[in-house]
Amino acid sequence: MNIKTLNQSTIEEYRKDDLHYVGQTTPFGKQLILHQSQGTKVWDANGKEYLDFISGIAVNNVGHTNPEVVEAIIEQAKQMLHVNVFGKSLVPVQVDLAKELAKVTPDGLDKIFFTNSGTEAIEGAIKLARRATGKHKIIAFEGAFHGRTCGSLSISYREVYRKPFEPLLPGVTFVPFNDLKAAEQAITPEVGMVIIEPIQGEGGVHVPSDDFLPGLRALCDQNGAMLVLDEIQTGFGRTGKFFACEHWNVVPDILVVAKALGGGMPLGGFISRPEVMNILTDPPLSHMTTFGGHPVSCAAGLASLNIINRDKLVERSAIFGNEIQNRLKEFQKKYPVIVDVRGKGLMIGLEFATPELTKKIVGRAQDLGLILSWSIYAGGTVRVAPPLNVLPEEIDQALNILEKAITESI
């Protein structure tokens, strides 16, 4: 592969212009100027190679710049870019993707409203649940992360991010994750929506006990609430099942997807039974989007879905995820600073003794050519989430780098 680079003066100009012209979410400049990507690897503007073991945060399940996805993007872009995607216009590629999704979603969840992103899909799910139940009270969970727009922020746990933007949605109650007794107390007939990540992502890759999600399903049924599963991070094979809820045979009322759905392009959606989704036709256009379900994004999503199915990436995720966890547990025996190893498939959390040590190890790993990250709500937990088509030799290389980073940091 021909790796392109930028000269140093151009790099410094980009750094300066980024701080000046691009809205920032941290008070310091960005560390990496990523210039190229392919498969499990990315290259910075100096041509340095990195293994990306967070997959652009669970987006690139079929790898960076997958050639088949790129070809689908090019062909669709030649045919048609933006058109009116709601109301009167039918976009064939959008229908094709929706039809293929219905083959892999849990039973009965056959109808999707496409959005641009995960947080928009959460907003749509909130509206749909309210409209379907006539109730506004929401149960969410401690450690939850559902997005940054006002509705999704209202049901995301950390107060430090909610407080500056209050007042947010009223009627939200947070319950301890994986505490069925607490959920039973909170889920009453006044509740319209219970929303949860089947496996918490930003909360630190926490997997619930086997009775928890089935218990929530039963409580929602008893009280007339809609169970909404946020599978934005966990979907499309990430956990060793196509959707994480399959680990517990739980079918939600609304399934929220994004990230890996678009194969690297912006695409999200909320999915439900046709009779529920059809509520949005009364009044007509009660939920709308300009760019959601964009033809190019849908073409990329369709190509990505085909790759996941054809190359058995869900099965690969389960196999390689078990292998990585077993090797990380061997690290745990050697290095007592590792508190826990947990996860399913290629969604793995590696918890260290302190957030400071975690950040030191992640930083050293990046210096050595391995991109990892810590969870936003759990600074002591490193997220390990490579593309599902990662190669065995890349896993070996990444774990060798990680072990070196640990030994050099403790």
Q: What is the pLDDT of residues 90-128, one digit of tens each?
A: 999 999 999 999 999 999 999 999 999 999 999 999 999
HEC secondary structure over the chain: CCCCCCCHHHHHHHHHHHHHHCCCCCCCCCCCCEEEEEECEEEECCCCEEEECCHHHHCCCCCECCHHHHHHHHHHHHHCCCCCCCCCCCCHHHHHHHHHHCCCCCCCCCEEEEECCHHHHHHHHHHHHHHHHCCCEEEEECCCCCCCCHHHHHCCCCHHHHHHHCCCCCCEEEECCCCHHHHHHHCCCCEEEEEECCCECCCCCECCCCCHHHHHHHHHHHHCCEEEEECCCCCCCCCCCCCHHHHHCCCCCEEEECHHHHECECCEEEEECHHHHHHHHCCCCCCCCCCCCCHHHHHHHHHHHHHHHHCCHHHHHHHHHHHHHHHHHHHHHHCCCEEEEEEECCEEEEEECCHHHHHHHHHHHHHCCEECEEECCEEEEEEECCCCCCCHHHHHHHHHHHHHHHHHHC
Which band of pLDDT confidence, cut at 50, 70 and 90, is reported for residue 406? very high
Q: Is pLDDT of 86 > 70?
A: no
314 to each of 239, 246, 396, how far by Cα in Å? Answer: 8, 12, 20
Calculate the alpha carbon distances from 199 to 57, 126, 219, 247, 349 in Å: 15, 20, 19, 10, 11
Instruction: Give the model confidence (pLDDT) of 206-228 as tens digits.
Output: 999 999 999 999 999 999 999 99
| Residue 70 pLDDT greater than 90, yes or no | yes
Q: What's the mean pLDDT when you consider all of the chain?
A: 96
**89 phi/psi in degrees, rounded to 5:** -95, 125
Asked if the model's pLDDT at residue 26 lies above 90, the reply is no
Hey, how many other C-beta atoms are within 10 angstroms of the C-beta on 89? Answer: 9
Q: Compute the Cα dihedral for 385, 386, 392, 393 and give only its sign.
A: negative
Mean pLDDT of 74-86: 88
Please, what are the domains in the chain?
8-60+312-409 (3.90.1150.10), 67-310 (3.40.640.10)
Asked if residue 87 has pLDDT above 80, the reply is no
- Residue 342 φ/ψ region, left for φ over 0, alpha for ψ in the -120 to 50 degree band, beta for the rest: beta
Confidence of residue 30 (pLDDT cuts 50, 70, 90): confident
Q: Beginning with the edge strand found earlier in the chain, give each strand of the sheet holding 191-196 in spatial order.
A: 111-115, 268-272, 254-257, 226-230, 191-196, 137-141, 172-175
CA angle 257, 260, 264 (to 5 degrees): 130
Predicted structure pTM score: 0.96
Please report the pLDDT score of residue 378 as a whole number.
81
Report pLDDT for 125.
98
Q: Region 273-280: what's the mean pLDDT?
A: 96
pLDDT at 101: 98
Q: Give per-residue pLDDT as tens, 291-321.
A: 999 999 999 999 999 999 999 999 999 999 9
Q: Which amino acid is at 212?
A: F
Pick the range with the lowest mean pLDDT from 26-30, 146-150, 313-317: 26-30
Mean pLDDT calculated for residue range 159-172: 95
